[in-house]
Amino acid sequence: MKKTATNSIVLGIAILATALLLVAQRPRSSGKHAVSLPGTQADMPFSRGIVAGNMLFVAGHAGYDDNGKLRPGGIGPETQSALEHIKQVVEAAGFQMTDVVSTTVYLADIAEWGDMNKVYKTFFPEPRPARAAIQVKLGGDARVEISAIAVKTR
């Protein structure tokens, strides 16, 4: 009888330890935190990205280089730069570009949609994210700005 009680206690402790381990490894569904990148301005009135649960919301990024200068060459190089910055935020948050489920592309001239697409499609494997593309007046001489939403499903 004593051996059975000891076995039951050991089994109970093992079950409790396993349950606690599973709870500790489960992604948190509440709370949020900002994603920051080295070298970014701390006084900006927005975050580069926000992780909320298993979702990441990436701020709009235009085609500027790391020195804050618009990348020369037009829509192609600007799109490349914008998506490189999005990729940096995605990876800094612990996500991958395959986790991106939606993007919004803001174009200064919708006629540049095709040239933007040539670069855009190189960043996203199939199935590509859902997307909206609209023409807007962007700040400065920027041709494109892109924002993204990513979701971890694993």
Write out pLDDT tens, residues 96-141: 999 999 999 999 999 999 999 999 999 998 999 999 999 999 988 9
Look at residue 147 and tell me whether its pLDDT is greater than 60. yes
DSSP element (H, E) containing 77 = helix 75-92
User: In the chain, what are the domains?
Assistant: 29-151 (3.30.1330.40)
Give 126's contacts (C-beta < 8 A, 6+ positions apart).
Answer: none
- In the structure encoding, which two tokens stand for residue 121, read together? 């499609």
Tens-place pLDDT, residues 58-95: 999 999 988 889 999 999 999 999 999 999 999 999 99
In the β-sheet with 55-62, what is the strand arrangement from edge to edge? 32-35, 49-52, 55-62, 144-151, 100-107, 130-135
Look at residue 21 and tell me whether its pLDDT is greater than 70. no
Give 143's contacts (C-beta < 8 A, 6+ positions apart).
Answer: 63, 74, 75, 78, 107, 108, 109, 112
CA angle, 139 as apex, 93 and 131 as ends, to 5°? 50
pLDDT attached to residue 47 = 77
Q: Is the pTM of this model over 0.85?
A: no
pLDDT grade for 10, boundaries at 50, 70 and 90 = very low
d(CA 132, CA 106) in angstroms, rounded, equals: 8
pLDDT attached to residue 87 = 97
DSSP 9-54: HHHHHHHHHHHHHHHHHSPP-S-EEEE--TT--TT-SS-SEEEETT
